[in-house]
Structure 1
Amino acid sequence: MSTPATSNGRKAGRCCASWPGAPSATVNRSREARWSRLEASPPSPAPAMRVVLVPFSCLYLLAGLCQAAEPARIGITVGALDNPFYQALARGAVQAAHSLNPAVRVTSLSANFTLAQQQRQMRELIAQKVDLILLGAVDSHAIAPQVRAARAAGITVVAVDVDAPHVDGTVKSDNRQAGEIVCRYLAQRLHGQGRLLIQGGPPVTSVSERIAGCRAALATFPGITTINDGANGLGSSLGGQRAMQRDLQRFTRIDAVFATNDRQALGTEKALDAAGLRQVLIGAVDGSPDIERALKLPGRIVASASQSPYLIGREAVLLGMRLRRGDGGQRLVTVPVALVTRANLANYHGWQSLVPPSGSR
């Protein structure tokens, strides 16, 4: 296995004066371990950023963190580092870690949405004696034994993006809200009449919460018939495309599709293109760069609930270090989402933005 990413070896100094910009990062692959590894270099100075969304991001908290022992090693294991969402999350975590300790060593691993691989990665991070693990679980329940083992070894574990059992804390988007705002928008675009397909995804809490939010929103539209395909779009474009191909064979009429993430939405659109169905509306969750590009062009994708993966990663490091100090306070940080459509796309600044697009609520 290749050596974890390290900083340039500068002696850790005082922090909390300002937030430096996000560090540059590249994705490399280890053929032996088959892990994608994101190696980050120390950040370069940049103007301080104004934090407006998440309550833990405030100067007095950072000042408190700097009085504690700074993290020496942090491990990150997430669904797939070829996904821009997880790349942005890892960048946010690395930026926060280097702000607290420029000499920190951060290892970012890609589980490729494979439970066995993530279990191996958790065991490896435990063997490395990291101080903090950020866990984007690929299975919200089956990862429990590895979480318990990490905590028994004195490692703080913070779940990111999705829930996981026995963790010390969690930082995630308001996934129920995401499902609600997208499906409400789709129902409104259908003028309250039609058949809306809910396309399933991986067995994680973020997906189930989005579906629950979607169903809650559609319950207020009696003219909308909900179709649940029961499929797993695998959180990927190919998975979404294959799920949609099967759905088109099963259901004679579909007026709109709610895909539980942007990548599945892109695959869904490909399947609809191939079938010549150009009137079906698609909504999703993520607010990814790919969806930004799609919304700039005419097409079936009409909305996405934007997440803030950069903030999720950054806040997870801050929460983890606060918990390592033994401070009280909440252990769940929920980052709000916002609806992005063609109407407000000009005001949306993507995953690096700290402010939701105006007119999105």
Structure 2
Amino acid sequence: MFKKEKTKSLIALILGLLLVFGIYVNYRNLVLSPNQRKIGVTYMTMNNAFYKVVNAEVEKVADSKGDILYTRDPALSVEKQYQQVETFISKKVDAIIINPVDSTSKQIVSVLKKAHKKGIKIIVVDSQLEDDSVADTTVVSDNYNAGVLDAQQMMSTVSQADILLLEHSETLSAVDRIKGFMDTISGHDAYRIVARRESFGQTERAMPVVEGVIERETYFDVVMALNDQSALGALAAIKEKNLSRKIYIYGVDGSPDMKNFLNTTNDVEATVAQSPIAMGEKAITTTYQLLEGKKVDRLITIPVSLITKENISDYDVTGWQ
């Protein structure tokens, strides 16, 4: 009986302490942070380590200022992202950082216009909106140049190629990468596009798509992928189908997985490094500049760099740059 009473007293004490702590946290937020900002963040998918790194930088700065960050994952659904922005509006956020699921979506633009009319700052990251009039600023990598760099590397490596393109046509950043690649090989008849497939930038979607190309006996010896996740999906398909010929695989991101393959195998040829760390830092820095009434550039472009076996030692293969 005594032990039961003692246990009850201990539970009551713990619950009391938790209650006091909760009251303290709320008091601190309300009283000690009267100018606390609220920022909504939505990326096209969190099933991509790139966006997790971007968000970690955003979160680090927001937390250091004692502000509130609402991070959401629409999982490549325009409808979900639309609803998430609606929720941000209802929460009366001060700013929205968005990586659009579909750069051309009128639904996304319409809800962002609604937010903008309420004085909410709009920061677009990693991919432009086709109608960018609603964005206060857009932070992107030099995506066109990423495609150029991959194409130049391919052309310096092979004198001719049958090329499979892995695309994500709903995202302007991906479109720009493929355009940079295509413009660079334009006029060089030795480099032929034999197939173009949508992969949505996802490993698990790229793999069956490439398997299908192989099963249809479409010959290719180069894969140009919009990002590293798609490139690695292509590699998985090639391994699964036991293709013995040399296939040159190119990606964009500079992800740890892709750099590890570059460093330890001959399975991939090159990747173009983006910096999600720099992108996250720039996105949150410009967010606060906007909230402070400062002027920022409408378009902020972050440089990219080619990574090959020749310079892989200059990079951290275990993390992002």
Do they fold alike, i.e. is TM over 0.5? yes
Match of 2:100 among 137, 144, 151: 137
**Contact 1:94/1:314, CA 8 A, preserved across alignment:** no
| RMSD after superposition | 2.3
1:312-361 Cα shifts (integer Å, max 9, x gaps):
111111112222333334221100111111221111136653xxxxxxxx
Q: What is the TM-score when the length of structure 1 is the normalising length? A: 0.75
Matched, 1:87 2:55: no
Matched, 1:226 2:193: yes
Judging changes above 3 Å, is the alpha-carbon distance between structure 1 residues 157 and 71 closer, same or farther for their aligned structure 2 residues?
A: farther
Counterpart position of 2:233: 267
**How far apart, CA to CA, are the structure 1 residues paired with 2:162 and 2:194?**
7
**How far apart, CA to CA, are the structure 1 residues paired with 2:26 and 2:169?**
34
- SS across alignment from 1:158: strand
- SS across alignment from 1:301: coil
Judging changes above 3 Å, is the alpha-carbon distance between structure 1 residues 253 and 70 closer, same or farther for their aligned structure 2 residues?
A: farther
Aligned length in residues: 289
Q: What is the identity, as a one-letter code, of the residue corresponding to 2:298?
A: R
How far residue 80 of structure 1 moved from its aligned partner, in angstroms, is: 1.7
By percentage of residues, which structure has more helix?
Answer: 2
**Contact 1:138/1:204, CA 8 A, preserved across alignment:** yes
**How far apart, CA to CA, are the structure 1 residues paired with 2:254 and 2:35?**
33
**Contact 1:284/1:304, CA 8 A, preserved across alignment:** yes
How far residue 226 of structure 1 moved from its aligned partner, in angstroms, is: 2.2
Match of 1:124 among 87, 98, 109: 87
Q: What is the identity, as a one-letter code, of the residue corresponding to 2:151?
A: C
**How far apart, CA to CA, are the structure 2 residues paired with 1:204 and 1:163?**
8
**Contact 2:98/2:122, CA 8 A, preserved across alignment:** yes
Answer with 1 or 2: which has the greater Rg: 2
How far residue 146 of structure 1 moved from its aligned partner, in angstroms, is: 1.4
How far residue 242 of structure 1 moved from its aligned partner, in angstroms, is: 1.5
1:40-82 Cα shifts (integer Å, max 9, x gaps):
xxxxxxxxxxxxxxxxxxxxxxxxxxxxx96611111002223
- SS across alignment from 2:264: coil
Runs of 4+ residues deviating >4 angstroms: 6-13
**How far apart, CA to CA, are the structure 2 residues paired with 1:130 and 1:153?**
10
Match of 1:161 among 95, 105, 126: 126
Tell which deviates more after alignment, 175-184 or 198-207: 198-207
**Contact 2:137/2:296, CA 8 A, preserved across alignment:** no
**Contact 2:289/2:296, CA 8 A, preserved across alignment:** no
Q: What is the identity, as a one-letter code, of the residue corresponding to 1:126?
A: I
**How far apart, CA to CA, are the structure 1 residues paired with 2:101 and 2:35?**
29
Counterpart position of 2:157: 189
**How far apart, CA to CA, are the structure 2 residues paired with 1:263 and 1:124?**
30
**How far apart, CA to CA, are the structure 1 residues paired with 2:268 and 2:293?**
45
Give 5+ residue unaligned stretches, structure 2: 1-24
**How far apart, CA to CA, are the structure 1 residues paired with 2:236 and 2:320?**
28
Tell which deviates more after alignment, 325-334 or 115-124: 325-334
How far residue 237 of structure 1 moved from its aligned partner, in angstroms, is: 0.7
Q: What is the identity, as a one-letter code, of the residue corresponding to 1:322?
A: Q
Q: What is the TM-score when the length of structure 2 is the normalising length? A: 0.83
